[in-house]
Amino acid sequence: MMEQGWQLVADLDEEPRLPDENERWERFETEEDPLKQDEILGELVSRQTDLFNEMPPIGGPFPDLATMIESSEFVPTFVIAVPSLRQLKPYCSRLLIKLRMGAIHVALLCEQDPPWEISPALLTDIGVEVRQRVMSDLDDEPESQDGEAATISRQQQKAIDRTTFVFEIMVMGEGVNVERNRSALNALKQGGVRKPRVAIQGYLLEGGAKSVWSTNGMTGWRRRRYLRYALQKGAESVTQIGNTIASSRPSVGLVAASVLVALLLNAGFKGLVIAFEGLPAVLWLLGDLVIPSAVIITACSLRHLNLHAATHAKWFQIGYLGVFAALFLALVWPPSYDYVSYLGIVGVVTSTINIAGGQLMEVD
């Protein structure tokens, strides 16, 4: 939870409100001094966060929640109320939710057995309902004069519909990786590419063997890797996990190796393009754009923690582009305007892709 940004789903139909919340908002709106406004808002958010974290989560009290709050420099909201998800309470022992760019993830944690009575149709209906509610709340639509929420525009609705909703059903325990459970999860499996864009994935987490099986095969290798790491570190306390995160540093070796691999792959690819005459010239450009991005994103994916993915991507881009530009200019010196333009396009596009990709991985 600490490293991946998941939130516990509260066993409530709505979030509680502070007794003097309206008064605090009125003070904020009428205050003319920006510094005092920031102070009022900061105190309000802090009080709201404390109140939300006191909400009872589905599955009962979370043992390490108090320690997580105490060990956090900036206390996030660890518990969130999502009323529609309470329909899933009978099917699991704990519910978690995570909001990320372009997707909403909900994890159903089950002990020993899959949720036998649940169906893809039920999960799809709940996913569509929750997505509509959560994404509409994030848009922070103003209210109309009669107090009703303003109508969502067609563009906003399209953005909501494009958001993928992912259910992750995680069955944990000893001896759970058996054919009966695999068949049950495979029967629930659902892709999220087409409408209504609600995906269902199943995982079997063997506590003793520290192994993970999933329904999403090759595409789920990275997620399985994270879960295996979590199983291996399951005995660590919140303090130990926090210390691991705090002591983590960017890897210069990872960046240097990635730069070397990207340069070698790109050189090899260009050799193939030259060797096979008649291939479209656009392949040359595609190689310069795709290869470095694929290498650094893959390299960042191999690490258990994504804490420094953005830094790795930035360092990689500086190192790779520096060497690439030097070699490129050495081969075409003195460069023409077309060569300089080509180099500029490669630099801008790869920098945008790699740095944005690193930032997204860091919050993934």
pLDDT of residue 181 exceeding 90, the answer is yes
Q: What average pLDDT does the segment 78-94 reach?
A: 90
Could you tell me the pLDDT band of residue 153, with boundaries at 50, 70 and 90? low
Measured between its terminal Cα atoms, the distance across the chain in Å is 12
% residues pLDDT > 90 (the chain): 30
Same domain, 197 and 256: no
% residues pLDDT > 70 (the chain): 85
Same domain, 274 and 170: no
Same domain, 228 and 283: no
Same domain, 203 and 326: no
Same domain, 219 and 276: no
Same domain, 319 and 178: no
> Is 23 a member of any domain?
no
Q: Which domain holds residue 81?
A: 7-16+55-245
> Mean pLDDT lowest for which of 181-195, 220-234, 262-276?
220-234
Q: Residue 171 has what pLDDT? A: 94
> Is 137 a member of any domain?
yes
Q: What average pLDDT does the segment 195-209 reach?
A: 88
Q: Share the mean pLDDT of the chain.
A: 83
Of 48 and 138, the one with more pLDDT: 48
Could you tell me the pLDDT band of residue 17, with boundaries at 50, 70 and 90? confident
Could you tell me the pLDDT band of residue 148, with boundaries at 50, 70 and 90? very low
Count the domains in the chain: 2
Same domain, 88 and 189: yes
Residue at a domain's end among 216, 245, 274: 245
Same domain, 62 and 206: yes
Residue at a domain's end among 218, 245, 272: 245
Same domain, 80 and 217: yes
Q: What average pLDDT does the segment 304-330 reach?
A: 87
pLDDT, tens digit (0-9, with 9 covering 90-100), for 239-255: 776 677 777 788 899 89
pLDDT of residue 69 exceeding 90, the answer is no
Q: Residue 32 has what pLDDT? A: 85
Same domain, 70 and 205: yes
Residue at a domain's end among 245, 266, 301: 245
Same domain, 175 and 220: yes
Q: Within 10 A of 315 (CB to CB), how many other CB atoms are there?
A: 21
Q: Show the CA angle centred on residue 95, arms to residues 113 and 203, nearest 5°.
A: 45
Q: Residue 237 has what pLDDT? A: 67
Query: Which of the listed ranges 61-65, 136-140, 189-193, 335-339 does the model predict with the highest average pLDDT?
Result: 335-339
Could you tell me the pLDDT band of residue 152, with boundaries at 50, 70 and 90? low
pLDDT of residue 112 exceeding 50, the answer is yes
